[in-house]
Structure 1
Amino acid sequence: MIWAVIPAAGRGTRFGGERPKQYLKIAGRPLIAHALDALLAHPRVAGAMVALAAGDPHWPGWHERLGKPVLTCAGGAERADSVLAALRALPAEAGEDTLVLVHDAARPNLRQPDLDRLIAAAEACEHGALLAAPVRDTLKRAYGEAGEARIAATEPRERLWRAFTPQAFRRGALTAALESALAEGVAVTDEAMAMERAGFSPALVEGREDNLKVTTPADLALMEFLLARDRDGLR
């Protein structure tokens, strides 16, 4: 059994606007619908748990998609709070060893071959796995304030990867890792960071680089182009 977890309690302040970015529409559906359907389309995913902001007026009220259950729970102020709340709220049949896929609500372009390879890697590695891509650009370390930054040094990019989602871990291990980080006041920016702190070394699974997270209006425009390209058979 595999369950999907989607933290969707954030406001998306970097994007701006009154409506949280996960509810903005592309190709006729909200971003979160694309994210959910990509996960639920996999035959081994039993259902999804979505962590929402208290009193979220934008949630469409889905109870199922693609014939699979979509459950909700109250999220928290930070991503880790929401993921932990969702893990705790999973149905009783999802035991400690259940594989959980944590995916961004605003990452709508997940492909099934990537998901297949992620699941296979996470089942083969007791430390879990995540989709990622090697850094290919030249990296610069800067000094100075934003808008006046200057180059301090060029950083080596070998062995550096960009972390994507989904990230796949066993429910019990991820719950314990997040609880430990929160108890110690450590702000973890993704689930893999919490697992690293707990002594695990998750596997990196190279995925498609168009598995983008929508963070800015420019990202939304790019994603609209990518999905239109696929719809028109130009991929």
Structure 2
Amino acid sequence: MSINQNHLMNTTPHIHAMIVAAGRGSRFGASIAKQYTKLQGQTLLQHSVARLASSRYIDQCLLVIAKDDHTAQTLNFALPIEYTSGGAERWQSVQAGVEALIRAGAHDSDLVLIHDAARPAVPQQDIDKVIKAALQEPYGAILATPVADTLKLSYTPPSPQSELTHDHIEQTPSSYIKQTIDRTHTWQAQTPQVFRLGQLRQVLTHVAKQQLSITDEASAFEHLSLPIRLVTGSRQNIKLTYPDDAILLTAILAAQS
């Protein structure tokens, strides 16, 4: 990377908050976009913005939404909001957000904090903690939790024709244990993830040129062997992915209020 790391760490950068909310949340299975699911009378998106507003480091937020999203701008938020349109993949939405921040005058040495709309229960102290860690790093830091459960790698054997039902509807293939995965150095990534803006822009350009498949922004840095710091976060910071998660999140939000 061409950005001078010593210069980055000797400045006091501005913190730019970004929430990526351009997806549909297909695994959640609802008729509306997942970020507009309501818990305790507010959408997940409103809850998530309010959590960012609780941090003394954050004074505004960029929402990256789908081009055909006509809901976000009808909502009231706890922070001043700017909008930009996202892409088909998550990383493309983040890239669109990065370019919007740069057009608005952000500097390479600034930090960009990226949060999921579907994580409405992140504690304020965790937001501040990951920002403080990223301020000390040349590339960035993310919230994560050490994996506590036993992990199994699975395999699915080929299904013989005899496994078809009598009306020819194929059954769901069965999975079997292949091996247990050592969890000693295994972490479950969360958001917020916080990066130097210029560095993030460069690694996302690399992802685009190489047509890489990544699941979060930290993965882009991993492809270039650039170190991203892990900051232990709360297990309350769960993501709404499946319908059952709404029950847990409702209980967590009630306990936190």
Same topology, TM > 0.5: yes
Cα pair 2:57 2:128 within 8 Å, conserved:
no
Query: Hey, what's the Cα distance between the residues in 2 that align with 1:9 and 1:121?
Result: 28
Following superposition, the deviation at residue 92 of structure 1 comes to 3.0
TM-score of the two chains, using structure 2 as the length reference? 0.85
Q: Which amino acid aligns with 2:207?
A: A
Q: How does 1:214-225 map to 2 (within 5 A)?
A: 214-225=240-251
- Equivalent in the alignment of 1:22: 35
- Equivalent in the alignment of 2:143: 131
Query: Hey, what's the Cα distance between the residues in 1 that align with 2:34 and 2:48?
Result: 13
- Equivalent in the alignment of 1:144: 156
Give per-residue Cα distances to partners, 1:152-195, cap 9 Å, x unaligned. 11111100000000000011100111111011110111000011
Q: Structure 1: where are the runs of 5+ without partners?
A: none
Q: Please, which of 53, 65, 73 is the counterpart of residue 40 of structure 1?
A: 53
Q: Please, which of 119, 123, 143 is the counterpart of residue 131 of structure 2?
A: 119
Cα pair 1:35 1:106 within 8 Å, conserved:
yes
Q: Which amino acid aligns with 1:69?
A: P
TM-score of the two chains, using structure 1 as the length reference? 0.93
Give per-residue Cα distances to partners, 1:191-231, cap 9 Å, x unaligned. 00011123311000000011011001101111011112233
RMSD: 1.5
1:78 maps to 2:89:
yes
Query: Hey, what's the Cα distance between the residues in 1 that align with 2:247 and 2:209?
Result: 39
Stretch moving more, 150-159 or 140-149: 140-149
Q: Which amino acid aligns with 2:92?
A: D
Query: Hey, what's the Cα distance between the residues in 2 that align with 1:88 and 1:61?
Result: 24
Query: Hey, what's the Cα distance between the residues in 2 that align with 1:150 and 1:65?
Result: 46
Following superposition, the deviation at residue 28 of structure 1 comes to 1.0
Cα pair 1:9 1:82 within 8 Å, conserved:
yes
1:192 maps to 2:218:
yes
1:212 maps to 2:238:
yes
Identity of matched residues, %? 39
Q: Which amino acid aligns with 2:185?
A: R
Query: Hey, what's the Cα distance between the residues in 2 that align with 1:187 and 1:201?
Result: 19
Cα pair 2:109 2:198 within 8 Å, conserved:
yes
Following superposition, the deviation at residue 147 of structure 1 comes to 4.5
